[in-house]
Structure 1
Amino acid sequence: MEYPSLKIGNLIVEKPLIQGGMGVGISLGGLAGAVAKEGGIGIISSAQIGFKEPDFESCTKEANIRAIGSELQRARDIAPHGVIGFNIMVALKYYDEYVKAAVEAGADLIISRAGLPTDLPSYVEGSRTKIAPIVSTEKSAKVILKYWDKKYSRTADMVVIEGPKAGGHLGFDKEQLDKFDEAAYDREVQAILAVVKEYSDKYGVKVPVALAGGIENAHDVRHAFSLGADAVQVASRFVTTKECDADTKYKERYIQAAKEDIVIVKSPVGMPGRAIRNPFMERVMSGERQAPRKCLGCLRKCNPAEIPYCITEALVNAARGDVDNALLFCGASAYRAEKIETVKEVVDSLLA
């Protein structure tokens, strides 16, 4: 099957494929650049992106802002004409400053999740950077698009629908995840598409929609397009690529994982997420508290005195390969990974 190119305003993307943002340090400039070079959209995760900077622990915000620029440049060096953007979580403590830094660096696109990005349009005003909220339900799509319409007299440049099979922090509570029904969620997707079309029609533009969450093969991609999606967003498949920025030990854990190793966990700020069971997660699930060494100011609603563990420490450990003492976020189909591939092989297999 041949898929049409993806148009986001005046941005033309050769292949309707977005590589999902994965932090900390899993999708940086190396992976994003490689995906953009193959004709898709490469996405850099801004979450504690400066963890490799020498002053990260003493000047965390400044290290992150510096790394936003350097990682985007690294991706541009790999794919000078590719489309490259950032995934920036609304829940981050310095969300507005990170968005503005990405815009100033020249990001083509900003995708926002982990909360409703109500003020995102104001941070990109006057720039060429496109914006795309991640929504999981018809209700959340209505809320954010209505808000942008009323307050900013504009709509989204693109919308990403992230389903219950996604990795990392999820826009569902545990009960919704336990009761997940694929046919019912397909209907939810079509309801979201109808909401997006309403605002597309109002503004006389085509707002493309990408479907994300558990998309692992060509069959999943065809299904997404059959529902009416204009693109897909895929994350976990790119972890086990040569070009992924994560440590080799992290990639190997995906390959070693069995289906029963994929579990729903609670992040320190209460949001559910999907991850690979490991010794660290066993300790957390048994109720053991692991006090943070130092607060690095990652999430706005985090209270170091109350959290069971520091999510920054756990995710940095993952990126560096200390996989027994790490939070290993993943999608529902991560256990299907069997080998290390190249980005080109993954892209070709998805769009076959």
Structure 2
Amino acid sequence: MKTRITELLNIEYPILQGAMAWISYAPLVAAVSEAGGLGIIGGTIMTPNQLRDEIHQVRDLTDKPFGVNIISLSPWIAQILELLVEEQVLIATYGTGNPRKIIEQLKPGGVMSFPVVPSPNTAKRAQDDGADGVIVSGREGGGHVGDLTTMVLVPQARDVVDIPMVAAGGIGDARGMVAAFALGAEAIQMGTRFICTKEAVCHDNAKEFIVRSGPRDTLVTGNITGLPVRCLKNKMSQTYAEMESTGKPKAMMAMFGAGKMQQAFQLGDIEDGSVMAGQVCGLIDDVPTVAELIQSMMAGCDRVLDRLPR
């Protein structure tokens, strides 16, 4: 399957792996790239030295293209941007900060920029700022989310941008992939679905929790703080939601939430940790290898297309 995204990124299939802190390490990233997609390192929690080591580990495992996800709020952002250019990473994705400033530093060094955006307006801004492509992410997704669902976001973003566009949020099988293309996307990005693969570097407790969860087992916290996050319902997230509803100070909530994602995904504490995952968890009932997942996605696309009315 060829699209502008596959041609631009030199990948076989139009599938990107969403970058997730505490999960998207070299084994997962390399497996996705080896299987024909684009693996992306979750670099937001890494120091420059840690990120450099992770990039080298990926290159020890594959010679295929891959990307790095960054955050402008990192205290090392200047060094990290220099590092991406120095290491000639293919693509950087990011969801916060001023896209223009990041693009201006990366583009001259040959690193492509794909901002992750929650609205048509921010997609248009990214294009105007010179982004090479854009990832539009709907509210169904896990982790940090916006207000618009993927179904309405993707076509509206397509109407205002001409650059290559990736759809994300609530996509976990071939049906979602085909739907995304029908809405105007040229590739998809999946996060939650890739957590539940054998190569994902996270605790089995978290994978099993996602597998046994349904589409109504998530909630969005952080609406009051301005940083909404979708995660699975558990003791931690429900306590946080109660703190919000009773008007607890933002500083108190920030302190309560600190370190909770690591607690869940690396230590396996799925009650007191934050298990960020999307509504697509209701579609997930297995933990395949990355290669098995991508091949089933592509084969499934053909079956879905064959079933469509003509």
TM-score bucket of the superposed structures, by smaller chain? 0.7 to 0.9
> Structure 1 residues 27 and 115 mapped into 2: Cα distance closer, same or farther (>3 Å)?
same
Q: Pick from 140, 144, 156: which aligns with 1:169?
A: 144
Is the CA contact 1:6–1:12 (under 8 Å) kept in the aligned structure 2?
no
Q: Secondary structure at the match of 1:351?
A: helix
Aligned-pair distance for 1:92? Answer: 3.7
Give the corresponding residue for 1:19: 17
Distance 1:260 1:78, change over 3 A: same
| Alignment equivalent of 1:35, drawn from 26, 29, 32 | 32
Q: Please tell me whether residue 318 in structure 1 is matched to residue 269 in structure 2.
A: no
- Whether 1:106 and 2:88 are equivalent positions in the alignment is yes
Displacement after TM superposition at 1:33 (Å) = 0.6
Aligned length: 294
1:79 is matched with which residue?
62
Please report how far the alpha carbon of residue 46 of structure 1 lies from its aligned counterpart in structure 2 after TM superposition: 1.2
Give the counterpart letter for 2:168 in structure 1: A
**Which residue number corresponds to residue 110 of structure 2?**
128
Q: How far apart are residue 97 of structure 1 and its match?
A: 3.2
Q: Give the equivalent residue in structure 1 for 2:305.
A: none
Change (3 A) 1:269 1:8: farther
1:133 partner amino acid: P
The RMSD of aligned alpha carbons is 2.4
Q: From the superposition, tell whether residues 107 and 287 of structure 1 become closer, same or farther in structure 2 (CA, over 3 Å).
A: same
Does the Cα contact within 8 Å between 2:11 and 2:37 map onto a contact in 1? yes
Q: Is the 8 A contact 1:90 1:117 kept in 2?
A: no
**After superposition, what is the alpha-carbon deviation per residue over 1:131-190, rounded to whole angstroms, capped at 9, x for unaligned?**
1112222211222333x2xxxxxx221111111211101123xxx6xxx594xx0xx423
Identity, % of aligned positions: 26
The SS at the match of 2:136 is strand
Query: What is the SS of the residue equivalent to 1:259?
Result: coil
Distance 1:268 1:30 in 2: 36
CA separation of 1:210 and 1:43: change in aligned 2, threshold 3 A: same
Give unpaired runs (5+ residues) of structure 1: 50-63, 149-154, 198-206, 289-302
Q: Between Structure 1 and Structure 2, which shows a larger proportion of helix residues?
A: 2
Local SS of the residue matching 1:27:
coil
Give, as a single letter, the amino acid of the residue that structure 2 aligns with 1:266: G
Aligned partner of 2:2 among 4, 7, 28: 4
Read off the aligned partner of 1:13 and give its amino acid letter. Answer: I
Q: Structure 2 regions of 5+ residues with no counterpart?
A: 300-310
Distance in 1 (CA, whole Å) between partners of 2:225 and 2:56 is 32
Where does residue 55 of structure 1 map in the other structure? Answer: none
Given the alignment, which residue of 226, 230, 246 partners 2:202? 246
Asked whether the 8 Å contact 1:166–1:214 carries over to 2, the reply is: yes
Q: Decide which of 208, 218, 232 is 2:174's aligned counterpart.
A: 218
